């Protein structure tokens, strides 16, 4: 926005031919036209044009409420009559060009620097437009310059009606014509779909497909990856779930070929990425089915998790064992807590038992500070299960049970002889 304002400010410093004395840029130049500001960038044979109008539809103009209006679209350079040559390197002061539409003509004045331009524009309605549309069965309720400006901006006119009729879309409501234009579901898009075999689609389906990014390039890419003759609804779902040609190709390269699209969608939703599968192969695992890869991902078994356990001495664990460990909260930090206290390379079942019964580093430390060190994993679990805590041991010592053995502590606790 700042760049836009700076470009406009720089342009306004130039003398404008044809601007009436006292005319305010960005406001209607007269009752018969609309005026505003524009910026543009030329690239790849098109001009990305942005229009801005202040106070279009101010209260008192057909009862509308005021507000700014912005419009942006790319136009082939050939449609901008009088635009100086130069393309992406166009540099010119006092540039003047037009964009002609059936509802009226946009006239632009401004300057360009290396393909970027800014300036002012006016829109002059074409008086015959409303009558031509009425002849086709369309009543244009808002024939003010502001109303016709909108119709021209979206290029809704007899030509568009005729093009749609040739494609089998006749007698569409006016608001549908406008929606098709605003959503980019124009005849060029319809022809793209038809060239791919998608013919006679309902208008709402065409609009929805365009909104969801189902373009000719997208469909062609999927067909190139082996997925042909997909319904338009399936294509919309694929696009919504982020399934791209690159994603499919990388899954195929990882060894997942000929998969049903439903499987691919599920894999994408569950975060099974090509990077995820590659890392598993690098860790020495033969890739399981895509369904199993989803399970692995859902249970939080990541390549990093596997590497961390390997660093603690738990190498080449089967996938099912990794899932069990992750589900039960066995982390590398938990394993390290036990290892640092002398409990190294415990069997997996003992790790799980200690974790399930709440025996961690802090519990072992508490007992150690009271003289109970080097206890077996089984005895630690029994003590924890019977509620023998550091506070209980202190209370027992206060009541004369000093140097009690672990088994004696369990008896004192279970029989209620000493209460914590």
19 has a pLDDT exceeding 60: no
**Contact present, 243 and 265 (Cβ < 8 Å):** yes
Per-residue pLDDT at 13 exceeds 60: no
Q: Residue 129 and residue 104: Cα distance in Å, rounded?
A: 8
Which strands make up the sheet holding 116-125, listed edge to edge? 69-76, 46-53, 34-43, 116-125, 104-113, 92-101, 80-81
Name the nearest CA neighbour of 408 among 388, 381, 390, 385: 388
Residue 277 confidence class, pLDDT cut points 50, 70, 90: confident
- Half-sphere exposure (CA, 13 Å, Cβ side) for 408? 10
* pLDDT given at position 268: 93
User: Helix, strand, or coil here: 117?
Assistant: strand
Helix axes 203-211, 174-182, angle to 10 degrees: 20
- What local confidence, expressed as pLDDT, does residue 257 receive? 87
Percent of the chain with pLDDT over 70: 89
User: What's the confidence (pLDDT) of residue 18?
Assistant: 37
Q: What is the pLDDT confidence band of residue 63, given thresholds at 50, 70 and 90?
A: very low
Domain map (residue ranges) of the chain: 299-356, 358-420
């Amino acid at each position: 926005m700042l760049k836009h304002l700076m470009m406009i400010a720089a342009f306004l410093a130039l003398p404008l031919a044809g601007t009436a004395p006292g005319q305010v840029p960005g406001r209607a130049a007269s009752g018969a036209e609309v005026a505003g500001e524009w910026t543009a960038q030329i690239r790849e044979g098109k001009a990305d044009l942005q229009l801005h109008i202040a106070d279009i539809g101010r209260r008192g103009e057909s009862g509308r409420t005021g507000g700014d209006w912005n419009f942006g679209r790319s136009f082939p350079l050939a449609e901008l009559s009088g635009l100086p040559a130069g393309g992406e390197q166009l540099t010119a002061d006092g540039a003047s060009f037009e964009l002609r539409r059936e509802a009226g003509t946009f006239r632009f004045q401004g300057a360009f620097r290396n393909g970027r331009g800014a300036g002012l524009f006016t829109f002059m309605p074409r008086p015959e437009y409303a009558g031509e549309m009425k002849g086709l069965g369309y009543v244009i309720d808002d024939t003010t310059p502001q109303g016709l400006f909108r119709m021209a901006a979206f290029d809704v006119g007899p030509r568009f009606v005729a093009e749609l009729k040739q494609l089998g879309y006749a007698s569409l409501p006016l608001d549908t014509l406008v929606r098709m234009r605003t959503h980019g579901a124009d005849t060029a898009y319809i022809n793209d779909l038809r060239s791919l075999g998608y013919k006679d689609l309902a208008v709402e389906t065409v609009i929805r497909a365009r909104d969801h990014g189902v373009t000719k390039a997208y469909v062609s890419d999927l067909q190139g990856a082996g997925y042909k003759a997909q319904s338009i609804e399936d294509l919309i779902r694929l696009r919504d779930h982020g399934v791209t040609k690159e994603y499919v190709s990388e899954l195929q390269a990882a060894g997942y070929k000929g998969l049903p699209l439903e499987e691919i969608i599920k894999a994408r939703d569950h975060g099974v990425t090509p990077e995820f599968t590659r890392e598993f192969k690098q860790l020495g695992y033969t890739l399981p089915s895509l369904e199993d890869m989803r399970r692995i991902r859902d249970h939080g078994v990541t390549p990093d998790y596997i590497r961390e356990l390997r660093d603690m001495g738990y190498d080449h664990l089967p996938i099912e064992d990794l899932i069990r460990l992750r589900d039960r909260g066995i982390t590398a930090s938990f394993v390290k807590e036990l290892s640092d206290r002398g409990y190294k390379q415990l069997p997996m079942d003992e790790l799980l038992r200690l974790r399930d019964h709440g025996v961690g580093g802090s519990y072992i430390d508490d007992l150690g500070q009271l003289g109970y060190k080097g206890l077996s994993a089984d005895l630690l679990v029994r003590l924890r299960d019977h509620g023998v805590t550091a506070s209980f041991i202190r209370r027992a010592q206060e009541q004369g049970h000093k140097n009690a053995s672990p088994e004696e502590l369990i008896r004192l606790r279970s029989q209620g002889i000493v209460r914590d």
